Amino acid sequence: MRTYIIRRVLLTIPVLFAITFINFTLIHLAPGDPLIFLMMQTDQTGGMTNRQVLEANNNLYGDFMDKRRHELGLDLPIPVQYVNWLGQLSHGDFGRSMIDGSRIFPEMMLRLKVTLQLTMISLIFSIIIGITLGTLSAIYQYTWFDSLVSLVSYLFMSVPGFFLALVGINIFALKLKLLPIGRVYDAATGGTLDDRLFHLILPVLVIGLSSSVGLLRYTRTSVLEVMREDYVNVARAKGLPERVIRFRHILRNALVPVVTIIGHELPGVFGGSALYETVFLWPGLGQWAAKAAASHDFAIMMVVITVTATLIVFTNLFVDIIYAVIDPRISYS
């Protein structure tokens, strides 16, 4: 067990290097000079192509362009830039936005906080919903309850989360005026706990329900499989009460593989935050990534994807270790 955990921890190191390297090269292989986009923000460039803008700017402000490029370190070879960038990251220097030149790190920490609040609470909610409904519909297989859950989960699987969010806002915020349209808190209250929780209701409901479907179906299948195992028959033949069989024999065994699925949900949850946070005006990392992608701010995109991918790698590491601890059937040598 210990060697397995040590090996698993060591394996994450090359993965992290690969992730940072892919992000870095990908963004630096992007066609076009990031400076073009910097210039396009400030100049009136109606009808001109990127190249024309670059040439015009080069002619007009050639020295300035070179100076900016040098300041941003864009004139060095890519491997050197990568190593420099890693060095900066280790000092907590995440660089500056390519559009407005503001420091990325302070804003990233603020956004990371609100993103984690939203995604973690939604994830916990979806786990509760998914496991409870999945287990119940397996135990009551072929009843009206099971059919209803299957039908609704089918529907939710086909409805994109952001559409559900739009419908939710339309009904609960705009028509019924019960819940806020979005945002983390109301500026008028200054962000009291009550107000923050109030603003979480709709996003957590939408994201939680939308991402619980996969977990629900997986739990249902897993519980159904375990219910057919010999040891369940044995437990029943022994005359154990149904309650004990369900909790001690079925549920405990069925939920072991479900743990890994929770780890697999993360890329979807973090990725989807780009859409949810845009719809709910939630100033998190996802919304930032969407904005940066639209304005071609490669510096911000690179930071957001590196930070979220790192979070996913560590959470999966955590999930795998838990899995090794709770599943006695597999021996890790």
Partner 1 sequence: MAVETSTPLFEDPTRTAQRDQGFFRSRFWRRFSANKVGVIGLIIVSILVFLSAAAPLVAPISPGKIDPFVGFQPPSATHWFGTDETGRDIWSRTIYGGRISLFVGLMAVLLRSGIALTLGSLSGYMGGIVDLIVQRIVDILLAFPTFIFLLILVSILGPSIANVFIAIGLLSWPSEARLYRSRVLSLRQMDFVLAARSIGASNVRILRRHIMPNLVGFALVAMTYGIGGAILTEAGISFLGLGVPPPTPSWGNLIQAANTLSVLENFWWMWVAPGIMMIACVLGFNFIGDALRDAFDPHRGR
What does the binding site for partner 1 look like in residue numbers (CB under 8 A)? 15, 18-19, 22, 26-27, 29-31, 154-155, 157-160, 162-163, 166, 169-170, 174-175, 181, 264, 266-268, 270-275, 278-279, 286, 289-290, 292-294, 296, 301, 304-305, 308-309, 312-313, 316
Name which of 74 and 240 has its Cβ closer to partner 1: 74
Name which of 182 and 208 has its Cβ closer to partner 1: 182
The least distance separating partner 1 from the CB of residue 279, rounded to whole angstroms, comes to: 8
Name which of 175 and 243 has its Cβ closer to partner 1: 175
Name which of 5 and 313 has its Cβ closer to partner 1: 313
Name which of 89 and 290 has its Cβ closer to partner 1: 290
The least distance separating partner 1 from the CB of residue 40, rounded to whole angstroms, comes to: 14
Q: State residue 24 phi and psi, 5-degree precision.
A: -65, -50
Q: Nearest-5° angle of CA 187, CA 193, CA 196?
A: 55
The least distance separating partner 1 from the CB of residue 316, rounded to whole angstroms, comes to: 7
Cβ neighbours of residue 162 under 8 Å, at least 6 residues apart? 275, 276, 278, 279
The least distance separating partner 1 from the CB of residue 161, rounded to whole angstroms, comes to: 8
Name which of 131 and 266 has its Cβ closer to partner 1: 266
The least distance separating partner 1 from the CB of residue 23, rounded to whole angstroms, comes to: 8
Nearest residue to 268 via CA among 136, 131, 157, 142:
157
The least distance separating partner 1 from the CB of residue 307, rounded to whole angstroms, comes to: 10
Name which of 270 and 282 has its Cβ closer to partner 1: 270
Q: How far apart are CA 202 and CA 210, in angstroms?
A: 12
Return left, alpha or beta for 327; rule: phi > 0 is left, psi -120 to 50 is alpha, else beta: beta
End-to-end CA distance of the chain: 7
Helix ranges (H only) for the chain are: 2-28, 34-42, 50-71, 78-90, 104-139, 144-158, 161-168, 193-227, 230-237, 242-244, 252-279, 285-295, 298-326
The least distance separating partner 1 from the CB of residue 184, rounded to whole angstroms, comes to: 18
The least distance separating partner 1 from the CB of residue 61, rounded to whole angstroms, comes to: 25
What are 239's two structure tokens?
């005359």
Nearest residue to 56 via CA among 67, 46, 48, 66:
48
Q: How far apart are CA 304 and CA 290, in angstroms?
A: 10
Name which of 26 and 234 has its Cβ closer to partner 1: 26
Number of H helices, E strands in the chain: 13, 0
State the CB neighbour count (10 A cutoff) for residue 239.
6
Nearest residue to 207 via CA among 259, 283, 277:
277
CA distances from 51 to 26, 65, 89 (A): 21, 14, 32
The rounded radius of gyration (Å) of the Cα atoms in the chain is 25
